[in-house]
Amino acid sequence: MTAAAPKQPLTLKLCAPRGFCAGVSRAIQIVEEALARYGAPVYVRHEIVHNKYVVDSLKAKGAIFVDELDEIPETDAPVIFSAHGVPKKVPEAAASRGLFFLDATCPLVSKVHKETILHHRRGKEVVLIGHRGHPEVVGTMGQVPDGAVHLVETVEDARTFEPKSPEALAFTTQTTLSVDDTAEIIAALTERFPSITAPHREDICYATTNRQAAVKAVAPTVDAMVVVGAPNSSNTQRLREVAERLGCKRSVLVQRAEDVNAESFREFASVGISAGASAPEVLVEEIIDAFAREFDVTVETVVTAEESMVFGLPRELREGVEA
């Protein structure tokens, strides 16, 4: 009997932190707890988080996902708003219909909403640094009247933006942006408008910052980077971009193990693995297993930060959990 050929060695370096953040964990727990407490169905406006595996898992438990409230029939079932936040008109419309709704908006996104409202009340023009059309940006801009927030996406936007009142400006940011890109945009704004009011605390969330820092530590030490997550996830796309900028020969975003073509990694001796804040760890494990089937893998974990953040559930669900 011929012995099997030895597998090619491959070192996998796992970024830590990676995967679920506190806001994502809370949002998923809200849907699961609502299903447990009230039974199926539970309606969810938009994807609760940007991850198909998570959404499909919740669908299997009885969650019904809709794009808009008018798709929901008259019902006593809970209606849940996604972790990305919603414009103010959405809960107002839900209340006018008498719907029982639960808000799964990440508390760090809610912080940006409150900042935007406060700046507007104080008579300031608000600049929002973010990506047009992203649900979080739509939700933040929808906290104040149309036209009260100016969206800035790039350094060039910051250099050409013309406010009505240059001495009465404030800025906020989407929570899932590239730390480095955002710093450049802020620098351009502050150079032009030295009196612009900044957030009391940085708006880019701790999880986004930590995951990018972990990729920055790993990417220069590996040949390629695999980022696990959804293509419509802003924080996940930023991780792939960070690795690409740091010189990885290949930086790819994958959703599941079947997206990994192991043969295409044979030219590499080392691969880094990270995961966006809405990607569950089971998907990372799937991808490690996919590499292990083709290579003799050695797994190392590179830890750049420890996370212990936990966000509480809405009052309506918290009482049941505490009991």
- Judge whether 84 is annotated as a binding position: yes
- Judge whether 50 is annotated as a binding position: yes
- Judge whether 15 is annotated as a binding position: no
- Judge whether 178 is annotated as a binding position: no
Q: How far apart are CA 89 and CA 199, in angstroms?
A: 24
- Judge whether 233 is annotated as a binding position: yes
Of the candidates 136, 258, 300, 306, the residue annotated as catalytic is 136
What is the DSSP secondary-structure string of 109-164? HHHHHHHHHHHHHTT-EEEEES-TT-HHHHHHHTTS-TTSEEEE-SHHHHHH---S
- Judge whether 278 is annotated as a binding position: yes
Name the strand (E) or helix (H) holding 322: helix 315-322
Q: Which whole-number Å values give the CA distances from 66 to 42, 45, 79, in the listed order? A: 11, 5, 10
- Judge whether 175 is annotated as a binding position: yes
Active site residue 136: yes
- Judge whether 235 is annotated as a binding position: yes
- Judge whether 248 is annotated as a binding position: no
What is the DSSP secondary-structure string of 185-250? HHHHHHHH-TTPBPPSS-SS-HHHHHHHHHHHHHGGGSSEEEEES-TT-HHHHHHHHHHHHTT-SE
Q: Per the annotation, where are the binding residues for [4Fe-4S] cluster?
A: 21, 106, 205
Residues at the annotated binding site? 21, 50, 84, 106, 134, 175, 205, 233-235, 278
Residues that are catalytic: 136
As annotated, the binding site for isopentenyl diphosphate includes: 50, 84, 134, 233-235, 278
Q: Which residues are annotated as a binding site for dimethylallyl diphosphate?
A: 50, 84, 134, 233-235, 278
